[in-house]
Chains A and B, each alone.
Chain A
Amino acid sequence: DTAVSQTPKYLVTQMGNDKSIKCEQNLGHDTMYWYKQDSKKFLKIMFSYNNKELIINETVPNRFSPKSPDKAHLNLHINSLELGDSAVYFCASSQGPLESLRDEQFFGPGTRLTVL
């Protein structure tokens, strides 16, 4: 069974469109994250949620809006897509709330977003 799943795996769309990426984890974790990996492979955190509550909101354009309907799901909605949004977006989860620094993050397979 997939621990952290994301859909879709690939997303190709035109500039200006609105799109969503869904993420689900079946690990019973309390904390979920969205990361963006650019073309140079740099991985940067965008958001994290703990039990449906927003914990981290990095300097991300407000065109990006995460939504956590329950602690097993964290979706990412992107409005008015721009060329620079092309990247691989990873969802991840960890046990949280943080009782141990040891908690590793389990990553989803990634969603490759291409904006034309």
Chain B
Amino acid sequence: AQKITQTQPGMFVQEKEAVTLDCTYDTSDPSYGLFWYKQPSSGEMIFLIYQGSYDQQNATEGRYSLNFQKARKSANLVISASQLGDSAMYFCAMREPWNRDDKIIFGKGTRLHILP
């Protein structure tokens, strides 16, 4: 079974609109971390935002925020006021604790296209 599921392979959004990229995860561990990374067409992987399973508040970083719904095991990325430069692949990822090999498992990604 997939640990990280991103159900939207591709999305098209008008510039300046808000975008929500979906991510659901599967773990039985109460302690875990969730990450979002951006991969533009140039190929590099850029860390965007982190949410810990025990964090009381949803994470925010500038125009990025994470809609964390623990009971539903979802960690959707919200991008406010989208820009052309937001066009990229976006990956959701999860880390489980050290004694489980400290792996970060990535979802299959969502390709976001921002339209002018």
Do they bind each other?
A: yes
B47 with A106: CB separation less than 8 A: yes
* Of A41, A97, A103, A104, the contact of B89 (CB 8 Å cutoff): A41
**Docked CA distance A109–B43 (Å):** 7
Contacts of A46-97 to chain B: CB distance below 8 A: 48, 55-56, 88, 90, 92, 96-97
Residues in A neighbouring B35, C-beta threshold 8 A:
104-105
* Of A31, A40, A43, the contact of B91 (CB 8 Å cutoff): A43
* Of A41, A105, A107, A112, the contact of B109 (CB 8 Å cutoff): A41
A101 with B33: CB separation less than 8 A: yes
Measured between C-beta atoms, what is the minimum distance from B54 to chain A in Å? Answer: 9
Contacts of B65-107 to chain A: CB distance below 8 A: 89, 91, 95, 97-98, 101-106
Mark contacts of B28-71 with chain A using CB atoms, 8 A cut-off: 1 yes-contact digit, 0 otherwise.
00011101010100011101001011000000000000000000
A107 with B97: CB separation less than 8 A: no
**Docked CA distance A43–B91 (Å):** 9
B103 with A45: CB separation less than 8 A: yes
Interface centre among A92, A101, A105 (most CB of B within 10 A): A101
Residues in B neighbouring A112, C-beta threshold 8 A:
43
Measured between C-beta atoms, what is the minimum distance from B2 to chain A in Å? Answer: 11
Chain A residue at minimal CB-CB distance from B105: A45
B97 with A98: CB separation less than 8 A: yes
Interface membership of B108, Cβ < 8 A: yes
Residues in A neighbouring B32, C-beta threshold 8 A:
101
A104 with B43: CB separation less than 8 A: no
B108 with A96: CB separation less than 8 A: no
5 closest A-B pairs by beta carbon, nearest first, are: A101-B33, A107-B45, A98-B98, A43-B106, A104-B47
Extra 8 A-B pairs, beta carbons < 8 Å, given A41-B108, A97-B98: A43-B91, A48-B101, A96-B102, A98-B102, A101-B53, A104-B50, A105-B47, A106-B47
